[in-house]
Amino acid sequence: AQTVTQSQPEMSVQEAETVTLSCTYDTSESDYYLFWYKQPPSRQMILVIRQEAYKQQNATENRFSVNFQKAAKSFSLKISDSQLGDAAMYFCASYYLNYGQNFVFGPGTRLSVLP
Amino acid sequence: EAQVTQNPRYLITVTGKKLTVTCSQNMNHEYMSWYRQDPGLGLRQIYYSMNVEVTDKGDVPEGYKVSRKEKRNFPLILESPSPNQTSLYFCASSFTQTPPLFNEQFFGPGTRLTVL
């Protein structure tokens, strides 16, 4: 079975500082996508960033960037210049192109931003 | 406005009383999916549908049914709800699940279900 692991149930960061959320995944598939989703207290699921496994270049979206280590099956999210609005639950997720069950989510990391 | 809607947003029911959670999207998406979210487990896929009349089981399908008679609607049916189905449920859709047109999933606002 495909799995996604987030080893940090909770993390905190000072406003304006940088924080990195960890994610590892386990698969024998070669074609897949990786995602980070943000879930604020409103419960809405918001896509933060995505990475295609065949791309070696790490994805970046404004203050959000990833460190994709394919050989190590690691996909960490870095948030720079943290803002109060970044406080949320963050989910790492994977999508496998040749696997019946499409999306697999990790258990989540709750991020607190301290003023 | 492009969106995925779910109804009801909150539901408290009793064991064994059949219920349906509706999901509708106005983006002409082919792919739709249902998830349940439980603390410490993240989101787990219940059922998904690649297109009209095509549905398949996800990771946790037991106790649930779905149907896809129209492209825009994908209701989740609990024929005989039990307390272990108390959870937060999300419907999601995307244009397709096939590259190169694959893109992100759009999620509904969630339905908080409590089964007593």
Interchain contact, B90 vs A45, CB within 8 Å: yes
Which pLDDT belongs to residue B16? 96
CB A23 within 8 A of CB A92: yes
Looking at residues B100-111, what average pLDDT do you find? 80
Distances (CA, A) of A68 to A23, A28, B27: 10, 16, 31
Indicate which of A103, A105, A109, A110 best probes the interface with B, i.e. most B CBs within 10 Å of its own CB: A103
Structure tokens at B55: 């549905």
pLDDT score of B47 more than 80: yes
pLDDT score of B10 more than 90: yes
Residue B18 DSSP SS3: coil
Looking at residues A16-26, what average pLDDT do you find? 97
The residue in chain A having the minimum alpha-carbon distance to the alpha carbon of residue B36 is A105
Q: How confident is the model at residue A101 (pLDDT cuts 50, 70, 90)?
A: low
pLDDT score of A100 more than 60: no
Chain B residues at the A interface, defined by Cβ less than 8 Å, are 33, 35, 40-45, 48, 56-59, 88, 90, 92, 97, 99, 102, 104-105, 107, 109-110
Which pLDDT belongs to residue B98? 65
Looking at residues B40-58, what average pLDDT do you find? 91
Summarize pLDDT for B77-94 with one digit per residue, the tens.
999 999 999 999 999 998
